[in-house]
Structure 1
Amino acid sequence: MNLKKIVGALALVATAASTAAVAQTSILNASFDVARETFAAVNPKFAEHWKQKTGEDIKIDQSFAGTSRQAQDIIQGKKVDVVTFNQVTDIDILADRDIVAADWAERLPNNSSPYYSTIAFLVRKGNPKNIKDWDDLAREDVGLVFPNPKTSGNARYTYLGAWLYAHEKFDGDEAKIREFVGQVLGNVENFPTGGRGATVAFAQNDQGDVLLTFESEELNIVNGEEFKDQEFEIVVPPTSVLAEFPVAVVDKVVDERGTRDVATEYLEFQYTPDIQRLLAGFNYRVTNDEVAKENAGKFADVKLVNPTDVLGSWKDIQTKHFATDGVLDQIQAQ
């Protein structure tokens, strides 16, 4: 081999070595709209854990939006390795299309939900409208802000919270329940596509008297610095909806990309005590008993109602309430 060919061959080897050196495993996590700060804290912890365990670097990319929008993007071909959603139905939609395994909820503890929350009411300083319970949200003098239930799991929990309250109040009389939920929806001044947009509308743009969103988001708002001068207050109703945060590996994608092991461990990592403490620091209610006891004092005492205990399976709920021409569409069309 002449000198020119030797130099060329060495250059190719050097280029290959350089490419290998910068090559890095990555996964994409699609999550709900108000989870930005949470995963900004979780992801570096997992990267450190994975490096210590395997010696490999890992890059966790993030996508944030309303979970229904995320699910539709995945159906249309977005290559997501894991989903950390806030609504079972948005993972079930993926399972129905064989993108996620049918048994996804059985793969991890607590129906694959490592943490949970509920819907509470954020009101302005002094609670000028005297908001105490779901009934107050139906009053004509009260303006509401929460995301669009068509695009946001967060908002569907709000809808279900109102429905479950009315179901108990009216002893299951669906005509009266629909009327009540219609009054609540009729008071909404802004329907952003996701939870963070609702926070901006209420806290920055001064829209509405009440922001309905996850208790965790409201605690972060009240305890954070950004809106401290506005002195918002949280009202947790005596009864509210159980809002689980299910997670799943996107089987179709991880098998294509060869990322199943790291994607699975990323989700399992969220159940570890240290990460459960981190999640509790972002004001989520966690499933680890010890960590839950450590943080019990920060949460209001509230009766949490699982929608499936009253309204049937999540598939039944999706079909009846949130599908095209379902109850939600019917109420909003009135």
Structure 2
Amino acid sequence: MSSSLVKAAAASAAVLLTTTACSAAGGTAAGDEGEQLSLVGFSVLEAANAPVFEEFAGTSEGEGVGFQTSYGASGDQSRAVEGGLDADVVHFSLEPDMQRLVDAGLVAEDWKDNETKGIATSSVVTFVVREGNPEGIEGWEDLVKPGVEIITPNPASSGSAKWNILGAWAHVAGAGGSDAEAEDFVTKFLENTIALPSSGREATTAFSEGNGDVLISYENEAILARQNGEAFDYVVPDDTLLIENPAAVTTDAPEAASAFLTFLTTPEAQADYALSGFRPVVDGVELPDVEGANDPSNPFPDPGTLYTIDDDFGGWAEANTKFFDEESGIIPRLQAETGTAE
């Protein structure tokens, strides 16, 4: 099947703007003559970070601080930092991308020792469908019906893809199914997958260009697409997986980076992230109406069953090895068997 996979168009590089100054060449959001921090993040953060930067600039710690930014597929971004890409703050899709930098000595081992356990943003696995939901996709079982065409990012590069596939696995295993039954379900899921773009943002681009019946995505990515005028609907299935995105500073980052990291989990910053569809990770956030949500006044309803990596997969250290190890992981093997490895 790999020869027939639809190739996603590359997501265009966007420049973050603040009320001060910007430079398209570097993707810079900068203060006037102030300190520059380098932030490396996963692709869907790009729009969400703009109001957070502006809010931080209004604090005493953030006065005059600007940002040089780099966004892309989470795994690719992590590997780039490991390979020498300058970073003071890193904000990835999932913990293994952070652990790579811990192992390389670029992020401290105690990066999770805070009130949110290192998590700065969160979301849930969601189904993005065509306007009016013509295929009637409401739950996971609808995805594996004959003829349904799925788009989801590639787990070899994208953190979003790993969340999506583990959400499919949890649908079976979390309800008491065996590993063999879960594997059979994920095999059917992959057989219906027609595109594996390299990042969550590129997957949305492929879907917006008319490919596929359903895009497996972050809830916040679905909300952001609708804010940008896409004629999509989205469905939060009754059982889904909690997505938790970690952030940290690098070991040689300046003090301003630590101040910014602390700011990310304040109610003010979390309210800014909520505007782009992220679910708050702390209490006490005054939620605004969220344009693009199914119900802007109640944008983040609780799913019937919410699975988590820690409770249902034994944590990322165990899950990443079991499911995504290049040599022994279940998912690379199933991708090879179904022809969706590339």
| TM tier relative to shorter chain | 0.7 to 0.9
State whether residues 34 and 195 of structure 1, in contact with CA within 8 Å, keep that contact through their aligned partners in structure 2: yes
Deviations 1:245-289 (A, max 9, x none): 1111111x42xxxx1x11111111112222121111111110232
Give the aligned partner of residue 79 of structure 1: 86
Matched, 1:226 2:229: yes
Aligned match of 2:58 in 48, 51, 54? 48
Give the aligned partner of residue 309 of structure 2: 307
2 CA distance for matches of 1:115 and 1:83?
13
1:242-257 to structure 2, matched below 5 A, reads 242-251=242-251, 253-254=252-253
User: Matched residue of 2:285: which SS?
Assistant: helix
Deviations 1:231-250 (A, max 9, x none): x2111100100101111111
Residues 139 and 103 (structure 1), Cα distance of their counterparts in 2 relative to 1, 3 Å cut: same
Give the CA deviation at 1:71.
0.9
1 CA distance for matches of 2:248 and 2:79?
16
Question: Which structure 1 residue ranges, 5 or more long, are not aligned?
Answer: 1-21
2 CA distance for matches of 1:119 and 1:189?
19
User: Matched residue of 1:240: which SS?
Assistant: strand
- The letter for the 2-side match of 1:149 is P
State whether residues 286 and 292 of structure 1, in contact with CA within 8 Å, keep that contact through their aligned partners in structure 2: no
State whether residues 116 and 284 of structure 1, in contact with CA within 8 Å, keep that contact through their aligned partners in structure 2: yes
- The letter for the 1-side match of 2:320 is Q
User: Matched residue of 2:172: which SS?
Assistant: helix
Q: Compute the RMSD of aligned alpha carbons.
A: 1.8
Give the CA deviation at 1:142.
0.5
Matched, 1:158 2:164: yes
State the TM-score, normalizing by the size of structure 1.
Answer: 0.84
User: Matched residue of 1:298: which SS?
Assistant: coil
1:1-334 to structure 2, matched below 5 A, reads 24-49=34-59, 52-53=60-61, 57-106=64-113, 108-169=114-175, 171-203=176-208, 205-222=209-226, 224-227=227-230, 230=231, 232-251=232-251, 253-254=252-253, 259=254, 261-291=255-285, 297-302=298-303, 303-325=305-327, 326-334=329-337
More helix as a share of residues: 1
Residues 321 and 246 (structure 1), Cα distance of their counterparts in 2 relative to 1, 3 Å cut: same
State whether residues 27 and 59 of structure 1, in contact with CA within 8 Å, keep that contact through their aligned partners in structure 2: yes
State the TM-score, normalizing by the size of structure 2.
Answer: 0.82
Runs of 4+ in structure 1 off by over 4 angstroms are: 292-296
User: Matched residue of 1:330: which SS?
Assistant: helix
User: Matched residue of 2:198: which SS?
Assistant: coil
Give the CA deviation at 1:89.
1.1
Equivalenced residue count is 297
Question: Which structure 2 residue ranges, 5 or more long, are not aligned?
Answer: 1-31, 290-296, 338-342
Q: Determine what percentage of the aligned residue pairs are the same residue.
A: 31
Give the CA deviation at 1:308.
2.0
Give the aligned partner of residue 3 of structure 1: none
Give the CA deviation at 1:53.
4.3
